[in-house]
């Protein structure tokens, strides 16, 4: 493979995936706009026209921001690769660190991270403090934003730098099959993070207090007992510090599993509805959806690391992407830039698989709680989170990890 072939493949994948994403976004905007002035019949009793129109406007605003992000990100990738940005960063770091040393690679990742953060900062600030605020969702203050940033940076340095050093050392020291060792280390790290994150890291950003509503706690405990689920505890998270969106989730792995309710969720739903939502989440556990996703991630990452091991030996891989130097860090960075456009065709397959899991979890919830309670809970969440009830079918098929509202409600009502 020549470097011109690599360049052509890269540009083709990047522009094609970006073009499809833009086309799907415009389809979504046209479909949502066309259905803005009428609440779908099946939701007429639970969502008023004003709420429906707010959801449409919110979806349209997020779509416009997403298209800006798409173009902004495309420019960034091209600047880094064919524009010579990565080579410039490599040469800049080489004035301070020995280019043959591991610390050079860590410094290069650090410079790239800071540059990428600054590039994305305008869009991030606009989304949080303008778009989300305009629709009444943002609760993040400037002080909280800066505090989160400082904590995230510190965690990245304390955890990310040693992990990166280990990966770079393996790439340099373990011969042609370094990618197998690296894959094993990263899988082990991800599994450990599932245990460590909810106990030690998440509390740095949010307060997690035991569920104080004794009646609700008793109902939840009975549901867990009926379903054969054991959890480390029931917690309420102060999600309202940052956002008006509501949610509930499981976190952790093995004995460290926790059930977490957003405080905004408990303010919105009644106890019957909370129980139904939790039964749905238990369905994911009972069907081993998390285990399945971990296994698929491990398999896909193994294939990708094998590909990375081969590409790292090809001169065309570097030259075709605008880099004349060679290093372990550049190999990882260039491969990460290739991942998004070349794995884009997997998006609808993963979305379909996720929607299948949601239907299975809904069926489990109906077997252990009332379908009507789950329906009413979902309607409230659609309303309060300003989720569109009328997504474009093709856009939804491609991206949505959850079934469209109308289809999901129809399935639940049929089950009821």
Active site residues: 281, 362
Q: Are the C-beta atoms of residues 166 and 105 closer than 8 Å to each other?
A: no
Q: Are the C-beta atoms of residues 142 and 132 closer than 8 Å to each other?
A: no
Distances, alpha carbon 124 to alpha carbons 72, 131, 238, 246, 247, in Å = 12, 10, 22, 21, 22
Give the integer Cα–Cα distance in Å for 279 and 84. Answer: 52
Q: Are the C-beta atoms of residues 33 and 55 closer than 8 Å to each other?
A: no
Please report the DSSP string for 246-295 in residue order: --EEEE-SGGG-EEEEEHHHHHHS-HHHHHHHHHHHHHHHHTTHHHHHHH
What single DSSP character describes residue 208? E
β-bridge pairing 258-262 and 234-237: parallel
Give the integer Cα–Cα distance in Å for 48 and 384. Answer: 12
Distances, alpha carbon 320 to alpha carbons 220, 301, 303, 316, 330, in Å = 57, 24, 22, 5, 13
Give the integer Cα–Cα distance in Å for 232 and 281. Answer: 16
Distances, alpha carbon 140 to alpha carbons 62, 129, 385, in Å = 18, 8, 16
What is the 3-state secondary structure of 270-283?
CHHHHHHHHHHHHH
């Amino acid at each position: 493979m020549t470097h011109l072939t690599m360049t052509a493949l890269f540009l083709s994948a990047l522009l094609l995936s970006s073009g499809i994403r833009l086309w799907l976004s415009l389809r979504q905007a046209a479909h949502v706009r066309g259905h803005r002035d009428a609440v779908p019949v099946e939701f007429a009793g639970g969502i008023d026209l004003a709420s429906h129109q707010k959801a449409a406007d919110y979806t349209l605003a997020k779509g416009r921001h997403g298209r800006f992000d798409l173009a902004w990100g495309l420019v960034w990738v091209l600047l880094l690769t064919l524009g010579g940005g990565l080579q410039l960063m490599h040469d800049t770091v080489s004035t301070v660190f020995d280019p043959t040393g591991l610390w050079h690679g860590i410094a290069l990742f650090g410079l790239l991270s800071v540059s990428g953060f600054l590039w994305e900062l305008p869009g991030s600030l606009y989304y949080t403090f303008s778009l989300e605020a305009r629709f009444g969702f943002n609760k993040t203050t400037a002080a909280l934003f800066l505090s989160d940033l400082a904590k995230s940076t510190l965690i990245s340095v304390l955890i990310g730098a040693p992990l990166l050093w280990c990966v770079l050392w393996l790439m340099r020291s373990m011969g042609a099959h370094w990618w197998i060792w690296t894959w094993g280390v990263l899988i082990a790290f991800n599994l450990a993070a599932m245990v460590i994150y909810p106990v030690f890291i998440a509390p740095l950003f949010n307060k997690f207090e035991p569920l104080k509503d004794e009646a609700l706690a008793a109902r939840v405990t009975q549901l867990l007992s009926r379903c054969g689920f054991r959890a480390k505890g029931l917690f309420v998270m102060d999600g309202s510090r940052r956002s008006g969106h509501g949610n509930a989730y499981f976190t952790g792995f093995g004995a460290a599993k926790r059930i977490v309710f957003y405080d905004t969720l408990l303010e919105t739903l009644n106890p019957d509805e909370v129980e139904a939502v939790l039964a749905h989440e238990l369905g994911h556990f009972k069907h081993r959806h998390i285990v399945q996703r971990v296994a698929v991630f491990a398999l896909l990452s193994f294939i990708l690391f094998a590909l990375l091991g081969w590409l790292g030996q090809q001169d065309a891989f570097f030259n075709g992407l605008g880099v004349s130097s060679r290093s372990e860090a550049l190999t990882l960075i260039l491969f990460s830039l290739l991942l998004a456009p070349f794995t884009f065709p997997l998006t609808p397959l993963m979305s379909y698989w996720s929607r299948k899991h949601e239907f299975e979890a809904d069926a489990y919830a109906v077997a252990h709680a009332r379908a009507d309670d789950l329906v009413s809970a979902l309607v409230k969440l659609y309303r309060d989170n300003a989720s569109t009830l009328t997504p474009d079918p093709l856009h939804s098929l491609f991206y949505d990890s959850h079934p469209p509202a109308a289809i999901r409600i129809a399935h639940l009502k049929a089950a009821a």
